[in-house]
Structure 1
Amino acid sequence: MERLRAWLLALAVVVVCGVAQVRSSASDHRYTAGDEVPLYANKVGPFHNPSETYRLFDFPFCSSAPVKEKKEALGEVLNGDRLVSAPYRLDFLLAKEEVAKFRTAVSKNYYFQMYYNDLPIWGFLGKVDNEGKADPSEYKYYLFKHLIFEILYNKDRVIEITVRSDPNSLVDLTQDEPVNVDFMYTVKWKETETPFEKRMDKYSQSSSMPHHLEIHWFSIINSCVTVLLLTGFLATILMRVLKNDFVEYAHDEESADDQEETGWKYIHGDVFSTSFIFILALVGVFYPYNRGALFSALVVIYALTSLIAGYTAASFYCQLEGTNWVRNLLLTGSLSYGPLFVTFCFLNTVAIAYKATAALPFGTIVVIFLIWTLVTSPLLILGGIAGKNTKAEFQVPCRTTIYPREIPPLPRYQQTLPQMATAGFLPFSAICIELYYIFASVWGHRIYTIDSILFIVFILLLIVSAFVTVAMTYFQLAAEDHEWWWRSFLCGGSKPSYKT
C-alpha cells in the first residue's frame, strides 16, 4: 500500500498541475521523463446553461500555491476561457457559507472544464441523490472529492486523457454546517499505439452528428425538391406569363399610352427610381473549428473586409446619384457596429456583475477598440474613397419618370409583412433541421463536424431565397407597386424571424 501511494505521488508530481513553468516545448507536445505537463482549469457552470460560466476558484477550492493564469490569445478571451493552474492538494475546512455555495452548484449540475496538454476534459462537481424521494427537501447533496486522471501516451507524447470521479469518495453537503474535506487525485498512465495525429478523433467521434447523417440527407433532399418546384414555378412565370405580356405590349406599341398599360409594364418608368435609404454591403465571416479561433477570425475578417464594405457602399450610393457620400460611409461603419457595441456593453456589464468568465477584461476591450480605430475605420475610409472615384454610371434598361406614379391600394396579402412571412417560410424549411444541430453546438454540449453538409445546405438556402424573392418581386410589380427595392431585401432577409 505504501509503495502504491509513493508511485501515485511520483506520478502526480510529473503530471499535475502547472505549479511551475513548463520546461518542455508546449508547441510540439513532446515531453521527457520528469517534465511537467501543464494542467489548466478553465471554468465551471451549470450543465443546462453553457453560457453561464465562472472561474474555477470562484468556488472554495484551495490551492497549495499561488494560482497562475495562462497567457491566452484574443480568441480564447472572447470565448470566455480563463485558464489557470489547477493543483489538487491539502486538507481544508469548508465553512458553512462555502458548503451552501457548493450545494447550490451541485443542485444545478455544475460541471468543470480543464485543459491538459491542450486536450479538454470535463467532469461534474458533485451529484444529487433523489432516488425514491418525492420531496426536494429530502434530497441529499454530495461533493466529489477524489478525481482519477487516466492518461494515454505514445512514446513522448500525450494522446488522450479522461477524468472520472470516485463514487465512493463523497462529502455530504446537505446540512449547513462546517465540513472537513480532503481533496485527492489519482493519476494513471497507460501506453497506447494511437498516433499523435489522431488524438483529436475522439472528440469528433463523441459528437452525435455523424450518427444522424440520414436526417441531414433527408433535409437536403427536401431542400432540393423545394428548389425544383420553385424552378418550375419561375420558369412558368418567365416563359409564359412574361412572354404573353411582351406579345400583348408589342401589339400596342405604336398606339399605347400610359393610361392603357397595366401590370408591371405600367410602372416600367418608376421601378428604377433611387431609394431613399442608403444601401450597405454585407460582410461574410469564416467559421473554423478550433478553440478560440472562431472569435479571432471574426475580429480579423470584420476588420479587413471593412475595405470591401466601404468600396461597395460608396460606389453604389454614388451610382444612385447620392450627394452626401461621407454620411453614407459613416452609416456603413456604425449601423452594424453601433447596435453590436451597445449589446456588448449591456451583456458585459451583466457578466461583470455576476463575475462570469464571459466578462471581457479591460485590456481585451482596449485591444478590440484599437483594432476598430486603427484598422477597421481607415480601411473603411479608403474603400469609400476608392468606391467614390471609380463609380460607374447607373444604367437602367428604360427611361425613368420624373414623378413616380401613385401606388394603387393593395390587398392585405400583398403588403410588406404578409409577403415577408410568406417569403421566409420556404428558405427556413430548407435549413430548419440543420439549425437544430447548429444551436445544439453553440448553446449545448454537441460538436458540429459535418461542414460539408452545412455547405450544401447553405448553397440551397441561397438558391431558394433568390427564387422566392424573384417571385415575390414579380407579384409586387404586377400589382403596380414600384417600390420594390427594400421589399425584395426584406423578403430575402425574413428568415431570421422564423429562427427566433
Structure 2
Amino acid sequence: MASPMTMVFVVAVVFLAAVGTDIASANSSDHRYKEGDPVPLYANKVGPFHNPSETYRYFDLPYCSSGVVKDKTEALGELLNGDRLVSAPYELEFMKDKDVRVVCKKELSKEEVAQFRSAISKDYYFQMYYDDLPIWGFIGKVDKEDKEPNEYKYYLYKHIHFDILYNDDRVIEINARANPDTLSDLTEDKEVNVEFVFSAKWKETDIPFEKRMDKYSKSSFRSHDLEIHWFSIVNSCVTVLLLTGFLATILMRVLKNDFVKYAHDEESAEDQEETGWKYIHGDVFRFPAYKSFFTAAVGSGTQLFTLTVFIFLLALVGVFYPYNRGALFTALVVIYALTSGIAGYTATSVYCQLEGTNWVRNLLLTGFLFCGPLFLTFCFLNTVAIAYKSTAALPFGTIVVIVLIWTLVTSPLLILGGIAGKNSKAEFQAPCRTTKYPREIPPLPWYRGALPQMAMAGFLPFSAIYIELYYIFASVWGHRIYTIYSILFIVFIILLIVTAFITVALTYFQLAAEDHEWWWRSFLCGGSTGLFIYGYCLYYYYARSDMSGFMQTSFFFGYMLCICYGFFLMLGTVGFRAALLFVRHIYRSIKCE
C-alpha cells in the first residue's frame, strides 16, 4: 500500500498537470475574427517606467473615457501581478488592408493638466492588450534641451498609431507608436482642449498564429547579448566547478589519509588517545538544540525545494511563455498549497527521529515559519499600495480567496503530512553510539566561528549565480522578458552542487577541530547564500536600477527579503542533508568503540 506521503505527491503531480494545461490554454477564444468583428482591446495600467511595482489603473489619468468602461474578469495570477484590465472606450475592428481612425475629444481642467504633467515628468507608460497581445507606450515627453528645470516643456501624446499584422482571420502582431507631430503642450496650468486620436493600419503577414509570441521571446535579449550571456554563464560555471573539483580532490586525499591513520592506530595500540574527528564520535550524533525549530526549518526548506523543482518543470515545458498573464503567480500559489504536506511530513518525521515529543507544536511552527513572515510583509506592503491607490493592492475578494486556499488546502495537507510523518516510525540512523554527557569543545580561532564560516560558505555558491542574478532582476524588477529557462536550470543545478560540497567541506573542518555541534552550522552555512543574494539586492537597487520612491523601495526590499529568506531555508536544507550523508559515511567507515 502506498504511503500517505506518496499519495500526496501523486495528487500534486496530477493537479499540476491539470493546472499547467489550463494555464497554457487560458484563453478560451479561438482568436478568429470576421471582417468588421470587434477585437477585444483592454486598457491595463499606467505607472512610472522605472518603478515596475508602482502601477495605477489606466483611467486614473484623465483620459477620454466616453462610453461604458467595464472591468474584465481576471484570474488569481493576473490580480497578483497587478493587472486591472478594463474595456477601452473605443474599438479597433478587424479590418483587412484598411485604415481605422477613432477620435475622442476632451477638455482638460487645470487639475487634470497638472495630473498629466506630473505623470509625464515621472516617465509614465501605459499598457494595453489587443487580442491578448501586449501594447506599451509613453504618455508624453519632456523637452529638456538647453533649458533650466523651471523652463522644461511638457507634451502629451495625442495620437497613438497601431500597426496590426494579420494572417487570414487572426491577429498576429501589433505595435504602437506615438505620432511626434501631434502634441499637446501642458506646461502651463490652464484648460486645454485635447483631441485624442487612435488609428490603426492593417497589413497581411505569413507568420503563423502559433508563433506570434516568439517576437517577445526574441526581443527580450539581442543575439549579441545572448552570446555574452551564455559565455559569461559557461565561464563562471567552469571556474566554480574547477575550484570545487580541486577542493574535492584535496578533501578526498585528506579523508583517505585519516582512514589509513585511524586504521593503523587501531592495530598498534588500543589505549592510544584518539585525535581529530574520530575523537568526538560519541558526540557527533548528539541531537541539536532547539530541535523543533531546526526540523521545522528543514521541513519548510524541503517544501520550497520541491516548489522550485515543479516551477522549473513547468517553465521547461513552455507554460510560462511571454505575457501569459499571471501564470507564474498562479503556479506558485497552487504548488505551494499542494506541497505543504511535504513540509509537514518531513518536519514531523525528522522531529520524531530526534526523539521530539510535542509534534503538534512542531507542525504549527512548520506551517508558520515561512508563511508567517511572508504574511506580515504582505500586510505591510498591501497597506502601502492601498495608501498609494495602486493596482498592486490586492482586492478584498482576492485576499479572501488566498485565505481560503490556505485554510482549505494548505493547512489540511500540512496536518495530513504531519500525521503521516509521526506514524512513519522511522528511527534516526547513527553508526556510533552517543555518550551520556557531551565533551567540551576546545577553544577555536575566530575564523572557525559561525559568522566567518557562513561568509566562506555563501561566497562560492553566490559566485556561481551572480551573473544570472542580473538577468533575473532585470526581468522581475524591470521590463525585460526572461525566457532562457534552460540556462537558469543549469545554474540552479550548479548552485545545489556547490552548496552541498562547500557545506560538506566546512563540516569536515569543523569536526576535525573537534567541534561536534555541526547540525545548525551546516544549515546556516548552506543557507548563507541567501544573505549574499540580499546583499546583491542593495547593489542592484543603488547601482543598476533607477527605482525610487517609498512604495517601490518597500516592495523591492520587502519581497526580496521574503525571497532570500526562502532561499536561505531551501539551501540550508540542501547543506544539512549533504552534511548528514557525509558525517554518516565517514563514521560508518571507521571502527568506533
2:304 equivalent to 1:301: no
Match of 1:246 among 259, 277, 285: 259
CA contact 1:80–1:358 (8 Å) conserved in 2 = yes
Structure 2 residue aligned with 1:127: 141
2:68·2:89 contact (CA, 8 Å) conserved in 1?
Answer: no
- What is the DSSP-based 3-state SS (H/G/I as helix, E as strand, rest coil) of the residue aligned with 1:92? strand
CA distance in 2, matches of 1:226, 1:412: 26
Correspondence for 1:451: 485
Give yes or no for the alignment of 1:92 onto 2:92.
Answer: no
Partner of 1:9: none
Q: What residue number does 1:182 align with?
A: 195
- d(CA) in 2 for partners of 1:232 and 1:195? 51
Alignment of 1:170 with 2:183, yes or no, is yes
CA shift, 1:266, in A, is: 1.4
> Paired residue for 2:542?
none
In the TM superposition, what is the alpha-carbon distance from 1:136 to its structure 2 partner? 0.8
Larger radius of gyration: 1
CA contact (8 A) 2:64 2:196 kept: no
Aligned mates of 2:409, 2:257 — CA distance in 1: 54
Structure 2 Cα separation of the partners of residues 338 and 421 of structure 1: 27
8 Å CA contact 2:135, 2:174 repeated in 1: yes
Question: Which SS does the other structure have where 2:39 is aligned?
Answer: coil
- Provide Cα deviations, 1:59-86, integer angstroms capped at 9, x if missing partner: 1113111210000011101110000011
Contact 2:155 / 2:187 at 8 angstroms: preserved in 1? yes
1:210 Cα offset (Å): 4.5
- Higher normalized helix content (fraction of residues): 2
Match for residue 118 of structure 2 among 104, 109, 119: 104
Q: Name the counterpart of 2:446.
A: 412
Which of 208, 214, 229 is equivalent to 2:243? 229
Distance 1:70 1:427 in 2: 44
Distance 1:143 1:256 in 2: 90
Number of the residue aligned with 1:8:
none
Task: Work out which of the residue numbers 513, 516, 526 in structure 2 matches 1:482.
Answer: 516
Equivalent residue of 1:141, what SS?
A: strand
* Superposition deviation, residue 495 in structure 1: 1.0
Task: Give 1:52 deviation, angstroms.
Answer: 0.9
Q: Counterpart of 1:458 in 2: which secondary structure?
A: helix
What is the match of residue 38 of structure 1?
Answer: 40
- Pick from 79, 84, 106: which aligns with 1:82? 84
**Which secondary structure does the structure 2 equivalent of 1:114 belong to?**
strand
Q: Secondary structure at the match of 2:427?
A: coil
Equivalent in the alignment of 1:147: 160
How far apart, CA to CA, are the structure 1 residues paired with 2:464 and 2:220? 23
Structure-1 separation of matches of 2:424 and 2:367: 20
Q: Quote the residue 2:389 is aligned against.
A: 355
Choose which of 378, 389, 406 in structure 1 pairs with 2:412: 378
Further displaced range: 222-231 or 184-193 = 222-231
- Deviation string for 1:73-123 (max 9, x for gaps)? 111011100000112553221111111111111011100000000000100
Tell me the distance in 2 between the aligned counterparts of 1:267 and 1:202. 62
* Contact 1:141-1:173 at 8 Å conserved across structures: yes
Aligned residues: 473
8 Å Cα contact 1:216/1:433 also seen in 2: no
Measure the CA separation in 2 of the matches of 1:325 and 1:210: 54
Contact in 2 for aligned 1:216/1:434 (Cα 8 Å): no
Question: In the alignment, what sits opposite 2:273?
Answer: 260
Structure 2 unaligned regions, length at least 5: 1-26, 91-102, 535-593
Q: CA deviation at 1:366?
A: 0.3
Do the aligned residues in 2 keep the contact of 1:149 with 1:186 (CA within 8 Å)? yes
User: Which of 1 and 2 has higher RCO (CA within 8 Å, sep 6+)?
Assistant: 2
1:202 aligns with 2:215: yes
1:435-446 map, 5 Å: 435-446=469-480
Q: Which of 270, 277, 286 is 2:283 aligned to?
A: 270
CA displacement at 1:228 relative to structure 2:
2.6
Mapped partners of 2:444, 2:116: distance in 1: 63
Find 2:170's aligned residue among 157, 160, 166.
157
Give the aligned partner of residue 56 of structure 2: 54
* 1:232-271 CA-partner distances (Å, limit 9, x unpaired): 3222222x322222233233337455x9222211111111
Structure 1, 80-89 or 423-432: larger mean CA deviation: 80-89
Aligned to 1:275, the other structure's residue is in SS state coil
The secondary structure found in structure 2 opposite 1:302 is helix
* Residue of structure 1 equivalent to 2:588: none
| In structure 2, C-alpha distance between the alignment counterparts of 1:429 and 1:354, rounded to whole Å | 38
- Partner of 2:332: helix, strand, or coil? helix
Code of the aligned partner of 1:428: F
- 1:497 matches 2:547: no
Report if the CA contact (8 A) 1:70-1:84 is conserved.
Answer: yes
Rate the CA distance shift 1:181–1:253 in 2: closer, same or farther, 3 A: same
The structure 2 residue matched to 1:73, chosen from 50, 58, 75, is: 75
Q: Which amino acid aligns with 2:204?
A: E
Q: Is the 8 A contact 1:125 1:143 kept in 2?
A: yes
Distance 1:391-1:221 versus aligned 2 partners, 3 A rule: farther
1:114 to 110, 123, 128: 128
SS in 2 for 1:91: strand
Question: Which letter does structure 2 place at the counterpart of 1:75?
Answer: G
* Per-residue deviation, 1:398: 0.8
Cα deviations across residues 180-217 of structure 1 (Å, max 9, x unaligned)? 11111112111111111111111111111643223333
Q: TM-score, normalised by structure 1?
A: 0.92
Q: What do the CA deviations read for 1:378-437 (whole angstroms, capped 9, x no partner)? A: 000001101111131111011111111111121111101111111111111111111100
Give the one of 365, 373, 380 matched to 1:331.
Answer: 365
Residues in 2 aligned to 1:306 and 1:117: alpha-carbon distance in whole angstroms: 37
Contact 2:42 2:88 in 1 (8 A): yes
What does 1:457-472 align with in structure 2 at a 5 Å threshold?
457-472=491-506
d(CA) in 2 for partners of 1:218, 1:86: 44
Q: Distance in 2 between matches of 1:96 and 1:142?
A: 15
Please tell me the residue identity of whatever aligns with 1:158. Answer: V
Q: Which amino acid aligns with 2:449?
A: Q
